[in-house]
């Protein structure tokens, strides 16, 4: 790769396709995003149209090349990333069989039970590193087989969201190992598909693509894709990684001792490990890293910044997020005894429960909207603390600082809340482009811009640090003791209300 060449990272996120152009020194030149829609035709469902991702990628790539005022011929390599776990089913001709079922879809509770019965829960965790959760890909396959047999009969290829874009760019069926390990069909230690799990679930192995390490080349841009995007035909496309693994690369969490914390639509705590590390009950995710030969342990809450988005859209649609944060700052730490449960779309860690429900607890007539907003920010932080506690209990040596990223991390107040609740220092990387940036770095490693992923991330600069506020730590400790009892106490009511809601549909 010449110093004058560029790297392109493309992220198929839940809300849009982002294209990011990076130079040979890792400096961001331009970015562009094309939004796409999600659909929830029934309770618990979440779907998107794969063709929308392809159209969005074309638009975003054209836009980023225009913004950088550069021809596509200068792009030396492309790295892909995107939302994990989504089921993209294609027929023998490569046509989409049905809309993609997304990571936050919760319809597959019965299929998760079926997987545990077929494989054995302990054996499932032993092989894959994970329990069967509704967000994963394998339960979606079983759901389609049970409820849409005609669609299932047409399936010949199974991909994840970014890999559908790879197919559209290169014509190749391929997947990276980090994203593949999030399907619940992987042998975690072997870093490839598990013949035992495929046989137990009766999923044909020929439907699954070959898997690659993050920086490995999986194909090249086809002539047709070059004409559509303005890129050069023959441009290498590397494997990349699922969004969380690529995000970790983008913030430099590529070796043990560097924790990554994401305040995006979902909330994530991500710890790199040198060997597979499994939480015995499968309450933490154990996946392959996008870094060759590395793994990671990860906790995920489904509605982090998504909770704040919901609050704004529902209670203050005309207000900016900045205005709402300023309003929250007028309430004291602890929100005068108001707690928020951020289970608006069910939950994963530490409660793998698609029927978990959100709530404010402790409201009185003296509380204001400011208290409710701050309690929402604090509730997300308490959910992150649940994850950190579980990691420590699993034997992970948790460092005293974390690299923080995601849209929610732009808020100074929210960073202060999270730092104080978790009692760790937060470091904000200077580059905030996240998963797309990590994908671009992986592309650079793939074409020799850096010798390995560690070298690619070694020059990442920290723009800001946030320390715990000493006066708030003890207050949050006391409040967390109450927060940590709420799920167990309220779960029966949550489940009853979920059943009532479904019956009313």
Residue from 424, 411, 417 nearest 480 by CA: 417
Q: Which has more confidence, 414 or 353?
A: 414
147 three-class SS: helix
> Which pLDDT score, from 0 to 100, does residue 434 have?
83
> Which pLDDT score, from 0 to 100, does residue 389 have?
94
- Please give the share of the chain, as a percent, with pLDDT higher than 70: 99
> Which pLDDT score, from 0 to 100, does residue 500 have?
87
> Which pLDDT score, from 0 to 100, does residue 131 have?
95
> Which pLDDT score, from 0 to 100, does residue 73 have?
95
Q: Is 388 exposed, middle or buried (0-12, 13-18, 19+ CB in 10 A)?
A: buried
> Which pLDDT score, from 0 to 100, does residue 64 have?
98
Question: Cβ distance 460 to 28 under 8 Å?
Answer: no
Residue 205 gets which letter from DSSP?
A: G
Question: Cβ distance 50 to 96 under 8 Å?
Answer: yes
What predicted TM-score, i.e. pTM, was given to this entire model?
A: 0.90
Query: 16-55 pLDDT, tens per residue?
Result: 999 999 999 999 999 999 999 999 999 889 999 999 999 9
Backbone Cα Rg of the chain: 22
Q: Kindly state the helix (H) or strand (E) to which residue 263 belongs, with its residue range.
A: strand 259-263
> Which pLDDT score, from 0 to 100, does residue 3 have?
74
**DSSP alpha helix (H) spans, 394-448:** 412-422, 435-446
Confidence of residue 501 (pLDDT cuts 50, 70, 90): confident
Question: Cβ distance 453 to 442 under 8 Å?
Answer: yes
> Which pLDDT score, from 0 to 100, does residue 431 have?
76
Go through the chain and tell me how many residues it has.
505
Residue 99 gets which letter from DSSP?
A: P
CA dihedral sign of residues 224, 230, 236, 239:
negative
Cis peptide before 350 (omega within 30 of 0): yes
Query: 339-358 pLDDT, tens per residue?
Result: 999 999 899 899 988 899 99
* Backbone angles phi and psi of 465, in degrees to 5: -125, 150
Neighbouring residues of 194: CB distance < 8 A, sequence distance ≥ 6: 127, 128, 185, 186, 187
Q: How far apart are CA 175 and CA 212, in angstroms?
A: 6
> Which pLDDT score, from 0 to 100, does residue 292 have?
97
Q: How far apart are CA 83 and CA 280, in angstroms?
A: 26
Q: Residue 405 pLDDT more than 60?
A: yes
Q: Residue 505 pLDDT more than 60?
A: no
CATH 2.60.40.650 fits 6-250, yes or no: no
Q: Residue 4 pLDDT more than 70?
A: yes
Which range among 23-27, 256-260, 382-386 has the greatest average pLDDT?
382-386
Give the torsion through C-alpha atoms of 314, 320, 326, 330, to 10 deg: -30
Q: Residue 504 pLDDT more than 70?
A: no
- Residues with catalytic annotation? 243
State the residue for tokens 């560690």: 454
Residue from 14, 54, 21, 19 nearest 37 by CA: 14
- The two counts, helices (H) then strands (E), for the chain are 17, 23
Q: Residue 10 pLDDT more than 60?
A: yes
Q: Residue 433 pLDDT more than 90?
A: no
Q: Residue 461 pLDDT more than 70?
A: yes
**DSSP alpha helix (H) spans, 148-238:** 149-154, 161-170, 177-180, 195-201, 223-229
> Which pLDDT score, from 0 to 100, does residue 458 have?
87
40 three-class SS: coil
Q: Considering the chain, what is the average pLDDT of its residues?
A: 95
Q: Residue 61 pLDDT more than 80?
A: yes
> Which pLDDT score, from 0 to 100, does residue 264 have?
86
470-490 mean pLDDT? 97
Greatest CA span in the chain, whole angstroms? 65
Q: Residue 427 pLDDT more than 60?
A: yes
406-431 mean pLDDT? 94
> Which pLDDT score, from 0 to 100, does residue 121 have?
96
- Residue 496 tokens read as 């009853």
241-249 mean pLDDT? 94
Angle between helices 305-315 and 369-393 (to 10 degrees): 160
Q: Residue 59 pLDDT more than 80?
A: yes
Confidence of residue 459 (pLDDT cuts 50, 70, 90): confident
Query: 315-335 pLDDT, tens per residue?
Result: 999 999 999 999 999 999 999
Q: Residue 60 pLDDT more than 70?
A: yes
Neighbours of 313 (CB within 10 A): 9
Q: Which has more confidence, 264 or 360?
A: 360
Residue from 166, 162, 189, 184 nearest 48 by CA: 162
């Amino acid at each position: 790769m010449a110093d004058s060449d560029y790297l392109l990272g493309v992220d198929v996120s839940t809300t849009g396709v982002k294209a990011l152009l990076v130079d040979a020194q890792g400096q961001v030149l331009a970015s562009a995003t094309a939004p796409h829609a999600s659909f929830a035709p029934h309770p618990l469902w979440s779907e998107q149209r794969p063709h929308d991702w392809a159209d969005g990628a074309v638009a975003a790539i054209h836009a980023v090349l225009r913004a950088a005022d550069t021809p596509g011929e200068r792009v030396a390599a492309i790295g892909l990333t995107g939302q994990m776990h989504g089921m993209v089913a294609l027929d023998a001709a490569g046509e989409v069989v049905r809309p993609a079922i997304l990571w936050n879809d919760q319809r597959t509770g019965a299929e998760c039970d079926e997987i545990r019965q077929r494989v054995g829960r302990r054996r499932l965790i032993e092989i894959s590193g994970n329990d069967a959760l509704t967000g994963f890909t394998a339960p979606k396959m079983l759901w389609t087989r049970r409820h849409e047999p005609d669609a299932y009969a047409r399936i010949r290829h199974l991909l994840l969201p970014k890999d559908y874009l790879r197919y559209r760019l290169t014509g190749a069926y391929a997947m990276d190992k980090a994203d593949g390990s999030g399907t619940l069909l992987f042998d975690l230690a072997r870093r490839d598909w598990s013949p035992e799990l495929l046989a137990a679930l009766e999923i044909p192995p020929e439907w699954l693509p070959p898997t690659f390490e993050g920086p490995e080349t999986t194909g090249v841009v086809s002539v047709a894709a070059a004409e559509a995007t303005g890129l050069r035909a023959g441009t290498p496309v590397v494997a990349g990684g699922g969004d969380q693994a690529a995000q970790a690369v983008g913030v430099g969490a590529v070796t043990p001792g560097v924790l990554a914390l994401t305040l995006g639509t979902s909330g994530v705590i991500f710890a790199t490990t040198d060997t597979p590390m499994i939480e015995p009950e499968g309450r933490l995710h154990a996946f392959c890293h996008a870094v060759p030969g590395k793994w990671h342990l990860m906790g995920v809450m489904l509605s982090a910044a998504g909770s704040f988005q919901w609050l704004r859209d529902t209670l203050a649609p005309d207000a900016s997020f900045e205005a709402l944060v300023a309003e929250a700052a007028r309430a004291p730490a602890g929100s005068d005894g108001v707690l928020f449960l951020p289970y608006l779309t069910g939950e994963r860690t530490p409660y793998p429960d698609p029927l978990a429900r959100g709530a404010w607890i402790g409201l009185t007539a003296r509380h204001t909207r400011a208290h409710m907003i701050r309690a929402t920010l604090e509730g997300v932080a308490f959910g992150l603390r649940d994850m950190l506690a579980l990691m420590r209990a699993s034997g992970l040596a948790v460092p005293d600082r974390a690299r923080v990223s995601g849209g929610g991390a732009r808020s100074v107040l929210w960073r202060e809340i999270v730092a104080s609740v978790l009692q760790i220092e937060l470091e904000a990387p200077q580059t905030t482009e996240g998963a797309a940036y990590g994908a671009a770095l992986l592309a650079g490693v793939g074409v020799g811009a850096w010798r390995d992923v560690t070298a690619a991330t070694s020059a990442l600069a920290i723009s800001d640090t946030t320390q715990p506020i000493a006066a708030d730590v003890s207050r949050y400790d006391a409040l967390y003791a109450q927060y940590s009892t709420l799920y167990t106490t309220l779960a029966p009511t949550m489940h009853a209300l979920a059943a009532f809601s479904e019956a009313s549909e």
